[in-house]
Structure 1
Amino acid sequence: MQLSISRGFSIVMLISYIAYLVFQLWTHRQLFDAQEQEDEYDDDVEQETAVISFWSGFAWLVGMTLVIALLSEYVVATIEEASDKWNLSVSFISIILLPIVGNAAEHAGAVIFAFKNKLDISLGVALGSATQIGLFVVPLTIIVAWILGINMDLNFGPLETGCLAVSIIITAFTLQDGSSHYMKGLVLLLCYFIIAICFFVDKLPQKQNAIHLGHQAMNNVVTATGGGVFSS
């Protein structure tokens, strides 16, 4: 039952992400082009020429993807050992520590764009990856596992569900009026600390032969909340 629900939800999530791409890149592209033209007008002096060609960049992307895939396999294999050695919960390492290190470049980019008063780009950096992974990568993983005959589901526990809901609600209320000031950043920062404390004290039992994506999806949502802190 749980597996069927996860697969059905994954299909719906993929459809919603495709609809979002069609809306942004095709049917209502003018809504986003207007902002891009405004940014180009403000940054005429800051125009930079490309330092590498398209194919060089593509080759670097493929190479770095392979390297990151190998390193990720090593990191995932050593999380439980690190948890025992450092006396930290697996959930805290995988949801709080790893996203901070793995998304340091995105956080830095969000800060740089925010200092240049480009909050749309900053929020895109902070929230874009969470949207992409939450609505595309995670459901696609479920469907690919389904095709390969692997029982993989979206098993969110009460803590993950609560943190996910709180993150979405607070972020939505923070961004709804289109303004930004230090108090909003403080609210997001305190929310991030509360989530970190919850997972620091949480000790999840490790089940053998079970594959759940609850933690993986939470990685990106919590990271996006942290990115929102820097953007504000």
Structure 2
Amino acid sequence: MHMNTYSEATTSQLPIPPTMDEDLENNTEVCDGNNAMTPMVRKKSELVVVANNNSRLQMLRNFMTNLQEVFFGTKLVVLFPAVPLAVVANFYSFGRPWIFAFSLLGLAPLAERVSFLTEQIAYFTGPTVGGLLNATCGNATEMIIALLALHQNKVHVVKLSLLGSILSNLLLVLGSSLLCGGLANLKREQRYDRKQADVNSLLLLLGLLCHLLPLLFKYALGGGDHSIATSTLQLSRASSVVMLLAYAAYIFFQLKTHRKLFDAQEVDDDEEKAVIGFWSAFTWLVGMTLVISLLSEYVVGTIEAASDSWGISVSFISIILLPIVGNAAEHAGSIIFAYKNKLDISLGVAMGSATQISMFVVPLSVVVAWIMGIRMDLDFSLLETGCLAFTIIITAFTLQDGTSHYMKGVILTLCYIVIGACFFVLKTPLIGQSPKASFGVKPSFEAITT
């Protein structure tokens, strides 16, 4: 009896093993739990895949949007095929005039799109910095052509193309803007802030003085022997350093001390927004600058061949054709703003670009040539310097009263046409071989051909 009681007590304390039915139920629950976890893991992986696909689609969508805005957002899109045609013509060694023609046509839409991209960047950098960036990148074509021409020791092309850019901005771009703006606003008085125009006029007059002094210095000493040429070169380099210092002071004046004076030209329009992002615009800007460099190299390398083939002087091509292509962006933008009766912006674009060429790009070219061991001075010869002086003086007189009408635009545009006709009919040697003349010394015109 004691044995039975002990065995029952012991049996009651031991755990009862599960039955077969209970094992089946437990296994079913475990399986159900595993099946419940599997869809959760699958859903997470599917979300990651969907997110990656969405991000790729978004990147592709953004790229297509940027492509459409950059390439098809301009009426000059019809000229974009000239870019690959120029590359193909150079690769297969077509005629050099064809390479020059395709390169020149391809530069026009690229220059306009560079201006568009800098405007997009300006929405993120602020109006004043954006305007300065726009003026700088708007002159990218001229600067690249000048540096490549210096690399090939074609100093005459550098001088003529930069001179032509100043003339084009002050007479053609500004003149056509005042003309179109006056015709579009016949019943409205067009006014602008004289302060900004006065600052640019003073800088242009300083640049004109720096161009005149080497010319007058050479004429005053009566010839072009080696010692006089060396003195003229030294004077030009010293003047170039002064011009760069003046331009640096102008930048400080524009961005720091008198920023409000230049902010007045900006557009206060809430509807205008950036259509592409900052980094997208920057990437496209770098890419187009590289393409401009390639086409500019083609232009510089084939300009003499095109001149001989077409029967047009290098002077006319450099002073008239190249600046018209390079200033396509400024020309279009300035006319549009003048049409909207926003003359402060038109003046800022045209005169700001001319000031930057005169006070920054020209002296910078002299300094770079100095570093490269190339003898480039500020003597642009008598005819070219005279045209520059006349252009700056008539522009300053035109803008002295703070008002505008279409007649002012007519006068400036006709002045540009007359200067263009002058260089079209002029058949002279290159600047380095130009006839020497001096005051008190009988000039020789034997080198001039008819």
Q: Distance in 1 between matches of 2:273 and 2:406?
A: 35
How far apart are 1:48 and its partner, in Å? 2.2
Q: Distance in 2 between matches of 1:165 and 1:207?
A: 18
* 1:58 equivalent among 277, 282, 293: 282
How far apart are 1:207 and its partner, in Å? 6.4
Kindly indicate whether residue 233 of structure 2 is the aligned counterpart of residue 3 of structure 1: yes
| Partner in structure 1 of residue 406 of structure 2 | 182
Distance of aligned partners of 1:35 and 1:151 in 2 relative to their CA distance in 1, 3 Å threshold? closer
Q: Distance in 2 between matches of 1:67 and 1:178?
A: 40
| Partner in structure 2 of residue 155 of structure 1 | 379
* 1:106 equivalent among 326, 330, 335: 330
| Partner in structure 2 of residue 93 of structure 1 | 317
* 1:119 equivalent among 336, 343, 346: 343
Q: Distance in 1 between matches of 2:407 and 2:358?
A: 27
Q: Distance in 2 between matches of 1:3 and 1:72?
A: 27
The one-letter code of the counterpart of 2:429 is: P
| Partner in structure 2 of residue 25 of structure 1 | 255
Q: Distance in 2 between matches of 1:65 and 1:26?
A: 29
Aligned to 1:153, what secondary structure does the other structure show? coil
Q: Which has the larger radius of gyration?
A: 2
Question: Contact 1:110–1:125 (CA<8 Å) still a contact in 2?
Answer: yes
Q: Distance in 2 between matches of 1:204 and 1:63?
A: 38
Question: Contact 1:90–1:203 (CA<8 Å) still a contact in 2?
Answer: no
Kindly indicate whether residue 357 of structure 2 is the aligned counterpart of residue 133 of structure 1: yes
The one-letter code of the counterpart of 1:4 is: Q
CA RMSD of aligned residues (A): 1.9
Distance of aligned partners of 1:2 and 1:181 in 2 relative to their CA distance in 1, 3 Å threshold? same
Q: Quick one: percent identity of the two aligned structures?
A: 72
| Partner in structure 2 of residue 193 of structure 1 | 417
Gaps of 5+ in 2: 1-230, 434-450
Question: Contact 1:13–1:136 (CA<8 Å) still a contact in 2?
Answer: yes
Question: Contact 2:369–2:375 (CA<8 Å) still a contact in 1?
Answer: yes
Count of aligned pairs:
204
Moved more, 93-102 or 47-56: 47-56
Q: Distance in 2 between matches of 1:189 and 1:13?
A: 28
Question: Contact 1:14–1:136 (CA<8 Å) still a contact in 2?
Answer: yes
Q: Deviations over 1:90-130 (max 9, x none)?
A: 10111011211222222111111011111011111222222
Q: TM-score, normalised by structure 2?
A: 0.43
Aligned to 2:412, what secondary structure does the other structure show? helix
Gaps of 5+ in 1: 210-232
| Partner in structure 2 of residue 144 of structure 1 | 368
| Partner in structure 2 of residue 70 of structure 1 | 294
Question: Contact 1:3–1:152 (CA<8 Å) still a contact in 2?
Answer: yes
The one-letter code of the counterpart of 1:127 is: M
